Amino acid sequence: MAEDKAKNPHVLFFPFPIQGHIPPMLKLAELLSLSGFHITFLNTETIHNRLLKNSPALEQLAQQPRFRFKTLPDGLTSNNTEPILQVVDLVDSIRARCSELYRETLVPQNGEDPDGWPPVTCVVADGMMPVAFDVAEEMMVPVILLRTSSPCSVWAYYSIPELIKRGELPFPEEADMDDPIQGVEGMQSLLRRRDLPGTLRHAKSPNDRVLEFFNTASNNLGRAKALILNAFEPLDSLVLSHIRSVCPIIYTIGPLHLLQRNLNSSTNFPSFWLQDRSCIKWLDSQPNKSVVYISFGSITTMTGYKFHEFFHGLVNSGHGSITTMTGYKFHEFFHGLVNSGHRFLWVIRPDLVQGITTELEIYTTERVCFVPWAPQEEVLAHPAIGCFLTHSGWNSTLESIAAGVPMICWPFFADQQITSRYVGEVWKIGVDMKDTCDRNTIESMARKVMVDEGLRKSVSEMANIARESVKENGSSNMNFQKLVQHIKSLSI
């Protein structure tokens, strides 16, 4: 019986149900499926239906003989307007509504899987889903954590108790955001208040829900059998050494999209939004390294005002600078980009710009292309792209590194603030524009990054390291093979 189990490891994946977390989970799940494992992938019903609608990846995966999806209700109706509080509400709702169904999925009461599959031998739980960890541990199923954010943010979140002990969290009223932070080991000379994960800015007291949520999630590091990170060893070796002091077994297997490609996986990138591929044709007509690509991910929002009148006036004016209609983030970005003189491709989700009462049309001119969502990996790899104006989400950052594209970072929340600091000050592959949104800064940074050969050289060198890491004898590839063996050992 033990031998049969060893031949049929069954891994259950439980991702956090937002855009930035599900794609790397799905990529890893597919790679393990191709390694001969049975895979059960849990989604909430809302997220699963949305992915089915907008991405062919789920149907492709579901056709594989050892891959299946199961869904759980989320039941969330949140009254919170702040994204991080929506996240905490979602976790609480899933815990309340899904724990029993999750237990039954892990260990069926009658002892028989409805599909005749072998028992679940391991859970790969999203590090931001404590319920996935707690219930599996209760059912005595081994748990490996996967954190989908940057290693530097993982370590910063783990340092919350020390930051509270030192009085650095919560921030005092009228705090100087440029004051240095000392409570994150190994980053004392690097971090300012504004560089801590943005979600920590919301905390009002040491017992704040946000601090408690991230502290609980981070404490699971020391309880897990291992930790998986979508990163590669040379990128963050110092930070990784600190994390290993808490969780000694770490598998750095990123960039996952490169590893997936190297191991001959053909699944498309799963997305919450329907991709508009017209931008590829537009890029084909642009000179090399002439285009600024702008995308702020799946959560960031902006304010806007009279966009249609503004845009038509811009188009009709030709290439000249614009000096009117100040005061709104969207307009400041648009003014700055236009005044930089560069061509640009901008992903504008239907919900990106608040304050527009009519449906946003998508415009394309010789210099400007707007799309509701883009095939980002393909866009970043296109020779026309000269730089990436990004929210510094970890998936986007890795994709930009892998493509050798320097970044302008405008982080929104969560791990994005600390990741952007590393992009600008540690890795020196871009510039950090956090907490700034004026047209002059945007214009000057776009001009700088598009011609800065030092940044381009640094990110090109890092891209080469990333690509080497996923090759047969590269660190990420070998770590993935070790992970496969580790999971097999758990099923014996």
- Three-state secondary structure along 97-153? HHHHHHHHHHCCCCCCCCCCCCCCCEEEEECCCHHHHHHHHHCCCCEEEEECCCHHH
Active site (catalytic) residues: 21, 126
Tell me the C-alpha distance between 235 and 238, whole Å: 9
Asked if 79 and 126 sit in the same domain, the reply is yes
pLDDT at 410: 93
* Averaged pLDDT, 309-317: 38
What is the per-residue pLDDT across 77-135, written as a single tens digit (0 to 9) for each? Answer: 545 445 555 667 777 777 777 788 889 889 988 778 888 999 999 999 999 888 899 99
When divided into structural domains, the chain yields a total of 2
Residues 197 and 341 in one domain: no
* Three-state secondary-structure class, residue 231: coil
Asked whether residue 308 falls in the same domain as residue 436, the answer is yes
Interval 411-429 mean pLDDT: 94
In this prediction, residue 267 carries a pLDDT of: 55
- 296 and 249 within one domain: no
> What's the confidence (pLDDT) of residue 88?
72
The reply to whether 334 and 482 lie within a common domain is no
Lowest-pLDDT choice from 60-64, 69-73, 359-363, 424-428: 359-363
Q: How far is CA 77 from CA 18, 47, 255, in A?
A: 15, 14, 35
Per-residue pLDDT at 409? 96
Where residue 85 sits, what CATH number does that domain have?
3.40.50.2000
Same domain, 302 and 238: no
User: pLDDT value at position 245?
Assistant: 96
pLDDT band at 272 (very low <50, low <70, confident <90, very high): low
Q: Which of 112, 118, 20, 109 is nearest to 68 (CA)?
A: 118
d(CA 399, CA 297): 13
CB 465 within 8 A of CB 234: yes
Q: Is 313 in the same domain as 262?
A: no
Q: What is the pLDDT of residue 309?
A: 39
Range of the domain at 408: 278-467
Residue 251 and residue 319 share a domain? no
202 and 292 fall within a common domain: no
Q: Are residues 186 and 326 in the same domain?
A: no
Read off the pLDDT of residues 36-54 as tens digits, 9 standing for 90 and up: 999 999 988 887 887 787 7
pTM confidence score: 0.88
Is residue 168 located within the same domain as residue 243? Answer: yes
pLDDT digits (tens, 9 = 90+) for 204-238: 888 888 888 888 888 889 989 999 999 999 999 99
Confidence at residue 424, expressed as pLDDT on a 0 to 100 scale? 97
**Is residue 415 domain-shared with residue 474, that is, in the same domain?**
no
Cα torsion angle, 205, 209, 215, 216, sign = positive
Q: How far apart are CA 373 and CA 382, in angstroms?
A: 16
pLDDT above 70 (res 313): no
